[in-house]
Structure 1
Amino acid sequence: MPMWRKLGRKKLKKVELKISHVLPNTEPIHEELVNMAAHIKERSNGTLIVQVYPDSELGNNKDNLEQAMRGANIVTVADPGYMADCIPDYGIMDGPFLYDDYKDIQKLAASAWHQEMVKASAENGIPRNNSNIFEGEICLKWFLKTLKKSLAEQP
């Protein structure tokens, strides 16, 4: 059951969340993020507003990652290579030809090694990161699940 339904008729504070990425607004992932934002606004009765910023409008991947690390209310959609700026070992996930299909990404993301990278990320001020994403239906389901969990952890 969604968080906003559990709270019943209690007046909820309006929350705004920015999602930034460097891709053009013609990319399928951007279109799905916009659809997701509309769906979230509808399902939350307007208490959760998600704004999607394409084309590096809020900065490049490194800028957005730094904003998130400093506590800004922002989600950045970027490849794992940018995480290597903070945790050098993370860069291995961006290696070419590592994966035959998305199941390989899921397997690596579930590994003990990846859990160590997530822990190192948190220790470096990155509150949540996931590396098992890719464009498509599974990406959207993952994103919604992660967003829901992140919001539930907010004070």
Structure 2
Amino acid sequence: MSIFSKGLGCVLAAGVMAGIATSQAAAQQYQLNVSTALTQEDPIYKGLEQFRDNVAKRTDGEVQIRIFPSSQLGKDEDVLEQARAGAPVAVVVDPGRLAVFVKDFGVLGGPYLADSYAGYRKIVTSPLFAKWAKELHDTSGHEILSFNWWQGQRNVLTEKPVSKPADLNGVRMRTPGAPVWMETIKAMGATPTPMGWGEVYPALQQNAIDAAEAQDTAVYGAKLYEVAKYYTKTGHIGLITGLVTSAQWFDSLPPKDQKILKEEALAAGDFASKATEDAVSKVDAEMEKAGLKIDTIDTTPFKKATEGVYAKLGYTDLKKQVDDILAK
């Protein structure tokens, strides 16, 4: 073989290897770290696993997703700030926290807004919601991948039986710090006490708070049934959440990957939501077996007590628009 032939062969081989290396690099080009306050046992986490796997498959590995449960990346607010700064992170977050940036999102966390996941899904896939999402993108630098991650109806976890708002007078109840949550808990008769989800177990254990409010699967995942006696089905807030990332990071993706991320986020949200609904009876049975008293009550007094929350927060007109969507 001539020196020329050998040299050409080396050049070709080097070119092939460089091409492979470039292809491999492209396959790892985009990485998204997803945070959730929930545990790996929660149906929401299972939905995130589906999201991760399907995105990797459909993008041929170009978009890699890593999941961090139990707030390993920090509190939801901290992750939102990271995303706002352009970091490749996402977080499963409630609408109350987004209301800090676009007030209209707060209405989704209002008391007794819709009766079921189907109702909330109708709202978060509407043109009205799309308008809020665009405003969020343009003003705060956040991108919503989907907002159909249903975590269930929130109920109260206490040391004493509860059947009416008066039973919560003077009770220090943990709740997220968003205004709509705080006003709802206050209207229900309790004293709202904001703190991170990971702090609730020791706070109840050490009597730093008297009560908490959360959905069945979260109570079970955090083992709060070990440090409280009663779980009363007030259903005061339907917890619909969304997968929110950095607009800057999202906009840097190829259009085909953007489309895949949104499609798979919606599909995974539906998967997780159904799993959440299916899990309620199972986790309730497990918690009762562990000694938690679960009571189903007439929620009419709580509905009446919280009727004024929407007006107090300036959501009267927006609530009517949402009601119109639900009525269709």
Within 2, Cα distance between the matches of 1:31 and 1:132?
14
CA positional deviation for 1:42: 5.0
1:49 to 43, 48, 64: 64
Q: Output aligned runs, 1:1-150, within 5 Å.
A: 11=23, 12-14=26-28, 15-41=30-56, 44-123=59-138, 124-134=140-150
Secondary structure at 1:132 match in 2: strand
C-alpha distance after superposition, 1:67-121 (max 9, x if no partner): 1111111111111111011112211101122111222123212334323211220
Give the TM-score, by structure 1 length: 0.71
User: Structure 2 stretches of 5 or more lacking a match?
Assistant: 1-19, 152-241, 244-249, 259-328
**Structure 2 Cα separation of the partners of residues 118 and 39 of structure 1:** 24
Q: Supply the RMSD in Å over aligned alpha carbons.
A: 3.0
Q: TM-score when scaled to structure 2?
A: 0.36
**1:131 aligned partner, one-letter code:** F
Paired with 1:56 and 1:129, the residues of 2 have a C-alpha distance of 19
What amino acid sits opposite 1:77 in the alignment?
V
Q: 1:58 to 1:107 in 2, by over 3 A?
A: same
Q: Which has the bigger relative contact order, CA under 8 A and spacing at least 6? A: 2
Larger gyration radius, structure 1 or structure 2: 2
Asked if structure 1 preserves the Cα contact closer than 8 Å seen for 2:27 and 2:61, the reply is no
Change (3 A) 1:110 1:28: closer
Q: Where do 4+ consecutive residues of structure 1 move more than 6 Å? A: none
Q: What's the CA shift string for 1:111-145, capped at 9, x where partnerless?
A: 3432321122012211335433325xxxxxx97xx
Q: Distance in 1 between matches of 2:136 and 2:56?
A: 29
8 Å CA contact retained: 1:67, 1:74: yes
Q: Aligned letter for 1:127?
A: E
Percentage of pairs with the same residue: 27
**Secondary structure of residue in 2 paired with 1:133:** strand
Residues 29 and 52 of structure 1, relative CA distance in 2, 3 Å threshold: same
Question: Taking structure 1 as reference, are residues 118 and 44 closer, same or farther at Cα in structure 2, changes over 3 Å only?
Answer: closer
Distance 1:152 1:21 in 2: 26
Report the number of matched residues.
136
